Amino acid sequence: MRLLYTILYTLGFVLLSPGFLYKMWKRGKYRENFTQRFGCYSPELRQRLAAKPGRRAWLQAVSVGEVNIALLIIAALRERGLQVVLTTTTSTGYALARERLPADVTLLYFPQDFPAPVRRAYDLIAPDLVVLMESEIWPNHVWEAARRRVPVFLINARMSPRSARRHAKLGWLFRSVFANLTLVCAQSAEDAANFRRFGAPRVELTGNLKYDASLPQPGHQTIDPRQILRDLGVAESRPVLVAGSTHPGEEDILFDLLKQMPEVFLVLVPRHVERTPEIIELAKRKGVVMTLRKNGGPVHSPACLLVNTTGELKSFYRVATVIFVGKSLVGIGGQNIVEAAASGHPVICGPNMQNFKAITAEFLTAGAVVQVQDPYELQHAVRDLGRDEQLRAKIVTAAQAVIARNVGATQRTIELMIAAQAAHQVPRKKL
């Protein structure tokens, strides 16, 4: 089975790697520590990690969203005396982690899921426990941990309907992988049922860590978004629409909205910063006067600020009159509405919130978010919310109540992990 998976993974890697390499090149800094993705590490790094005075945890966080959650888990593990190594998959996640991690946490790139790089990564890190997040399950990674009798925890675990269908078709593979997970901490009851269905031996419903991550955290980089808008000449009374984590197609819709509502100032934060050139070109075609957060230069009376930096979305949410969360009107899956709602401003999302199904359902039931179906409804929602302060306050109050009911997943997750890790203490196999 493992050989068959590795063969299929190799074929997929060969076919898809040109596209991945192109994306990495566009995002920049792809050369930095690139060989770590194949389990090749510098002598200095080997020497530093060879010193292991106590237990060590290995956390994997794919990108920016998972890094924000990882910071909570890392703080809790360090309080309990564990050393931590964090790996990320994307360069944006790596950049954010490097900026915010404590000095004693080692940051690496996650190895490709070939047996040799995975073994070398385990040899280097020598973890006492491994923590994966959400749906980040790599078979060779999990199998190697099982071979070394290292407990593997899948936290904030979710399984979308699409993933469940894929797992059902590849049951011969995923049942073997899930069977080697020590503990699954699921976001929702539906997620928990899906993981039990595919053979995870222990599944606990802990809630969604995104609620905890949405709260203000000490030590985060702070900027003054209000001063930035003042410097651009945006009056305090002017409605501000902050569009976060937008995807291709949504900027087109938002620029059309500006034409219909010129009184609105748009703060546009695309999900991927490397899309900046194409968004600039689109703004020119649409006749939208836009300036850039970084290297923008003087622009007279801009209608839009394009935030071409990483890790500042949460700060810009604070100055919103209304927030639109992207990858929900065009695209599939949606983005995190909790972080947006925690800013104290009303949130609009589109119909495509599959990756946040349980969260969206709870927010909708409570009247804590506005869901629109198309650009026409988006325009009307922005107009209604911009004009009606009482409506904005009602939605914000409902959202705060939802968030208050759901915080605490971090503590529940950590307690379960520590107990399970203690129960897992058995002699290691000789390698």
- For 330-349, how does the pLDDT look when each residue is reduced to its tens digit (9 = 90+)? 988 899 999 999 999 999 99
CA distance 221 to 402: 26
> Does the pLDDT value for residue 143 go beyond 60?
yes
Q: Is residue 10 part of a domain?
A: no
**Residues 135, 281: one domain?**
no
Q: Which residue segment(s) compose the domain that 349 sits in?
A: 225-406
136 belongs to the catalytic site: no
Higher-confidence residue of 217 and 147: namely 147
Q: From the centroid of its chain, how far is CA 421? A: 26
Tokens of 67: 């890094």
Find the range with the poorest average confidence among 23-32, 74-83, 112-121, 250-259: 23-32
CA distance 185 to 154: 6
Q: Is 374 exposed, middle or buried, given 0-12, 13-18 or 19+ CB atoms closer than 10 A?
A: exposed
CA distance 263 to 235: 11
Q: Is residue 84 part of a domain?
A: yes
Catalytic residue among 32, 44, 66, 274: 66
Banded model confidence at residue 397, pLDDT cuts 50, 70, 90: very high
Question: Which residues on neighbouring strands pair with residue 100, listed in sequence order?
Answer: none
106-132 pLDDT, tens per residue?
A: 999 999 999 999 999 999 999 999 999
Q: What percent of the chain has pLDDT over 90?
A: 74
CA distance 373 to 335: 16
- What's the confidence (pLDDT) of residue 20? 66
Q: How many domains does the chain have?
A: 2
Q: Is residue 240 part of a domain?
A: yes
Nearest to 399 by CA among 351, 356, 352, 364: 364
Which one of 45-59, 205-219, 301-315, 389-403 scores highest in mean pLDDT? 389-403
> Does the pLDDT value for residue 426 go beyond 70?
no
Mean pLDDT value of segment 260-268: 97
Q: Is residue 21 part of a domain?
A: no
Q: Is residue 394 part of a domain?
A: yes
- What's the confidence (pLDDT) of residue 220? 58
Q: What three-state secondary structure class fits 241?
A: strand
**Residues 185, 234: one domain?**
no
Identify the CATH number of the domain in which residue 318 sits: 3.40.50.2000
- Total residues found in the chain within this entry: 431
- What's the confidence (pLDDT) of residue 331? 80
Banded model confidence at residue 222, pLDDT cuts 50, 70, 90: low
Banded model confidence at residue 167, pLDDT cuts 50, 70, 90: confident
Using an 8 Å Cβ cutoff, are 225 and 317 in contact? no
Q: Is residue 17 part of a domain?
A: no
**Residues 206, 247: one domain?**
no
Q: Is residue 5 part of a domain?
A: no
CA distance 294 to 426: 52
Higher-confidence residue of 65 and 429: namely 65
Banded model confidence at residue 26, pLDDT cuts 50, 70, 90: low
- What's the confidence (pLDDT) of residue 427? 42
Note the pTM of the prediction, 2 decimals: 0.86
Rounded-to-10 torsion of CA 87, 92, 93, 99: 100
**Residues 240, 317: one domain?**
yes
